[in-house]
A and B are shown apart, each in its own frame.
Chain A
C-alpha cells in the first residue's frame, strides 16, 4: 500500500511562472490537506479538500493560489505568477475519514519549490 505521493519532489521556477504541485493520497483516502513550510518557520495549513469539493481554504492566500481534487487523478496545488516569497516546502497529507480534529493524517514527502 503506497503512501502519500507528491511530485515533483523539487521544483524550480522563475518569477512570474506557474507552479503545479501534485498529490496522490493513500489508497482509500478521499480527504487531502495542503500545508506550507516557509524556510525557518513552522507548518501552516493552506486548504482541505475532499473529492471535487473544497472544504476549508481559510489558509490559502487570496490571490495566485488555487487547489483542486478532481474525481479522478491527483490533487493539484497551483501557484500562478510565482514570487520569491513562494519558495517553501509544500506538504500534502491525506486521511480516510476526514476532519483534522478527529483523524490521523498521513504526510507525503513534500515538494520543495524554489523561485529564482
Chain B
C-alpha cells in the first residue's frame, strides 16, 4: 500500500462543475502540499497546509490531521484547470516529501 493515496486517478468534468480530489496518507506529517502539474510538465505549488483550510481564488484545500485526509476542491471549474494534481506529505526527515501518483483532471468546455 502506498503511503500517499489519491483518488480518483482520472477525472473528467464539464466546465462549471465543482470538483473534489482526495488524498489519504498513512505516515505522520507536519505539512501537506498540493501541487499542479501542467500538460507541458511544469509544476506549481498550490497550497501547503498543516491544519484546517486554505483558499486561493477558486481553489480550496482542507486537511483533517486525525483522519489523515486532505481534499482539494475547485469551484466553477474551467478548461484551463486541466492538469495533474499531486498531493505530497512530509515523510519525517527535513527534505523527504512523499508524493501521491496524481489525479489527472480534464475539464471539457
Contact = CB atoms under 8 A, between A and B. Distances in A.
B86 interface: yes
Interface string B28-58: 0111010100000111110010000000000
Interface of B: 29-31, 33, 35, 41-45, 48, 86, 88, 90-91, 93-102
A65 interface: no
Nearest to B101: A42
Interface residues of A, number: 29
B94 A44 contact: no
Contacts of B30: 101-102
Contact of A59 (B43, B88, B90, B96): B96
Contacts, number: 71
Contact of B42 (A45, A47, A59, A107): A107
Interface in A66-104: 89, 91, 93, 98-104
A56 B93 CA distance: 7
Interface string A33-64: 10100000111110110000001101100000
B45 A104 contact: yes
A98 B95 CA distance: 8
B95 A100 contact: yes
A96 to B, nearest CB: 13
18 contacts: A33-B95, A35-B97, A42-B99, A42-B100, A42-B101, A43-B86, A43-B97, A45-B96, A45-B97, A45-B98, A45-B99, A58-B93, A98-B94, A99-B95, A100-B94, A100-B95, A101-B90, A104-B48
A69 B9 CA distance: 36
A104 B45 CA distance: 7
Contacts of B88: 43
A21 to B, nearest CB: 15
Interface string A7-23: 00000000000000000
